[in-house]
Amino acid sequence: MGILDSKIPSGPLADKWTKHKNEINLVNPANKRNIDIIVVGTGLAGGAAAATLAELGYNVKTFCYQDSPRRAHSIAAQGGINAAKNYQGDGDSNYRLFYDTIKGGDYRSREANVYRLAEVSGNIIDQCVAQGVPFAREYGGMLDNRSFGGVLVSRTFYAKGQTGQQLLLGAYAAMNRQINRGKIQAYNRHEMMDLVLVDGKARGIIARDLVSGKIERHSAHAVVLATGGYGNVFYLSTNAMGSNVMAAWRAHRKGAFFANPCFTQIHPTCIPVSGEHQSKLTLMSESLRNDGRIWVPKKKEDAIAIREGKLKPTEIAEEDRDYYLERRYPAFGNLVPRDVASRAAKERCDAGYGVNKTGEAVFLDFASAIKRYGKEKALTSGIKNPDEATIIKLGEEVIEAKYGNLFQMYEKIVDQNPYKTPMMIYPAVHYTMGGLWVDYNLQTTIPGCYAAGEANFSDHGANRLGASALMQGLADGYFVLPYTIGDYLSHDIRTGPIPTDTKEFDEAEQDVRNRMEKLMSGSGIHSVDYYHKKLGKIMWNKCGMARNAKDLESAMTEISELRKDFWENVKVPGSMDSKNQELEKAGRVADFLELGELFAKDALHRNESCGGHFREEYQTEDGEALRDDENFKYVAAWEYTGEPKDAKLHKEDLVYENIELKTRSYK
């Protein structure tokens, strides 16, 4: 196996994690006090890991570019978190959650990792409730659940439309408790600029204080990267403006393999683009597909009339509407997985049935849910023979209680009332399944460098199911990494503090300074955003929802040329020695310009369609993804060799011992 040893424990699937925990080395509490750990990123994975590692007794330093750990982009997750609690008694189990996740990922993830995720999912809910996370409850006082795409049970726990916020604030609170005890030193408004290796091991980072501009050296016995995904390589995405790949990419350049970069999730329900000024896209939670029905007009002339503002969606008769997901996928209907729903929307819009000015939008309609809930509410309120207006009023109240904040957000952005007229939605880049390659212990190919949460590639295969990102982030941070990192650190109990006045740190710091000076010395023709937007257009048009070899090849060339242009002609005003947001952006975009090319290369080499990776050349007669298990049942882990186009491919074969590989069907 060479260096791509996934280190999956032997034994039956359900026993692997327990067995592994029993066999790995521990560090005794007195020795933990002598060991330092750096955690970069303070979202669900990083925040949870930092809190738990500090609680165990390690000395933790956290780094985030935001002004507070509470602002990490995990906070924006809306819909919920999955857990195999089976509180609904609808047949859920660890196995079912495991099975759904593997199938949802289109059989491109590791069995053992995913089973472990399902196994600890219940603990996450217990933990969060103990921390005071105010999950939604039923009238009897028990926790409520809802459904998400790609599954047939109700296993999603939620806190209105702000589940990510509540879970992140839970992890932030756990961090605060440790900061108060002096066990975590939090470096906010700091950005990791490079990883420092000593004798081949990750031993620290070079960071920049974003307020003073000062370059700092920080050492540790291990470095955890929990820095999120790279969706912003598309410029427009549902990610935060600051979300970036820098930490992961710097590690990649230092030897960490980057896995499956082309596996990107395009989320089906986002607010459509309104114009060239657009800086980011806003998600409308997948939970809305519990109650919203997706449609476009059946007749093209109706679609044209709507686009021209001559017809209102509410004026189109029921029989003239095409509920295309219900039509194509009767078993799962509107709750098909995200990749399937996104492609179906694109298919309708490409065929000319789009419903907004740009022709790139479909309807998400709550009218029938409002009526259904209104009737039920009237009955339980003792109103006999309610009239239409009463039903609608009561129904709107129920919808407001469930999704009020999302409806409000929609109205503020689009200036239309979604209670009265259907929402318009279109797919947008949302999540990246790919990321740093890690073994079962979440260690990258650099010893002592770990990756957790969205930053790693591990659990979602080629497509992530809804409400699974929060689950994975917290599982990695609270329950997996704190165990597995101990096994590595048990060899460091006699090492003592890592000095920062060594040649390794000198060189790393000098590299960082050189790079920043180079960024500041561009000829000054175009702004950083100019390049970022250009890159985004190439990515969206050629590496987006549908890809083909010709476009991917030209994307690689175009990105490479754009990168060259960027380094020669970018304009970064201000100085290096002070707060400088343009310089911050420039460093991030520089790395996106390298990652983008590797992304295209990965998509080009994978001659199959699976999950979010859809190659036009590989599809069934009715337009579904055509997987090639014989040739591509592997993780593509890329080794940096100098230029993204020359990255070297390493394959980790995926072994399925417990699940039979099938064609994924939601029909």
CB of 272 vs other proteins, minimal distance in Å: 11
289 given a catalytic annotation: no
Asked whether the beta carbons of 412 and 404 are under 8 A apart, the reply is no
Q: Residue 187 CB, nearest distance to other proteins (Å)? A: 12
Q: Which of 110, 307, 338, 464 is catalytic?
A: 338
Query: Segment contacting other proteins (CB under 8 A): 118-126, 217-225, 385-393, 493-501?
Result: 118-126
Both ends of the chain: CA-CA distance in Å?
39
Q: Are 369 and 353 in contact (CB under 8 A)?
A: no
| DSSP labels, 483-507 | HHHHHHHGGGTTT-PPPSSSHHHHH
Residue 563 · residue 594 · CB < 8 Å: yes
Inter-axis angle of helices 367-380 and 388-414, to 10 degrees? 130
Three-point CA angle 188, 63, 180, nearest 5°: 70
94 binds other proteins (CB under 8 A): no
Contact 63, 205 (CB under 8 A): yes
Token output for 457: 């590639």
Contact between 75 and other proteins by CB under 8 A: the answer reads: yes
Out of 31, 93, 123, 495, the residue judged to bind other proteins by CB under 8 A:
123
Strand partners, 475: none
285 or 468, CB closer to other proteins?
285
**Residue 306 makes contact with other proteins by CB under 8 A:** no
The residues that bridge with 429 in the sheet, in sequence order, are 266
**197, 159, 181, 166: which is closest to 50 by C-alpha?**
181
Q: How far is the CB of 230 from other proteins (least distance, A)?
A: 16
Amino acid at 601: K
User: Footprint of other proteins on residues 427-456 (CB under 8 A)?
Assistant: none
Neighbours of 93 (CB within 10 A): 14
Residue among 219 and 468 whose Cβ is closer to other proteins: 468
Site for other proteins in 626-645 (CB under 8 A): none
Scanning residues 228 to 267, which ones bind other proteins (CB under 8 A)?
Answer: 238, 240-242
Exposed/middle/buried for 28, CB within 10 Å: 0-12, 13-18, 19+? exposed
Between 159 and 425, name the residue whose CB sits nearer to other proteins.
Answer: 159
Q: How far is the CB of 212 from other proteins (least distance, A)?
A: 9
Residue 58 CB, shortest distance to other proteins, in Å, is 13
Residue numbers 321-380 binding other proteins by CB under 8 A = none
Contact 353, 303 (CB under 8 A): yes
> Distance from CA of residue 474 to its chain's centroid?
13
Question: In this chain, which of 31, 93, 282, 569 binds other proteins, going by CB under 8 A?
Answer: 282
Question: Per CB under 8 A, does 130 bind other proteins?
Answer: yes
Should residue 274 be labelled a site residue for other proteins when binding is judged by CB under 8 A? yes
Rounded CA-CA distance 361/16 in Å is 46
Near other proteins in 383-422, by CB under 8 A: 408-409, 412-413, 415
Q: Do residues 7 and 24 lie in contact, with contact meaning Cβ atoms separated by under 8 Å?
A: no
Among 34, 88, 176, 421, binds other proteins (CB under 8 A): 176
Q: How far is the CB of 68 from other proteins (least distance, A)?
A: 5
Confirm or reject binding of residue 182 to other proteins (CB under 8 A): no
Q: Which of 55, 511, 553, 565 binds other proteins (CB under 8 A)?
A: 55
- Number of residues near other proteins (by CB under 8 A): 82
- Please check whether residue 632 is in contact with residue 607, taking contact to mean a CB–CB distance below 8 angstroms: yes
Binds other proteins by CB under 8 A, chosen from 94, 101, 127, 484: 127
Selected binder of other proteins within 42, 147, 162, 472 (CB under 8 A): 162
Comparing CB distances to other proteins, the nearer of 497 and 573 is: 573
Helix then strand then coil, % of the chain, to nearest 5: 45, 15, 40
- What residues act catalytically? 338
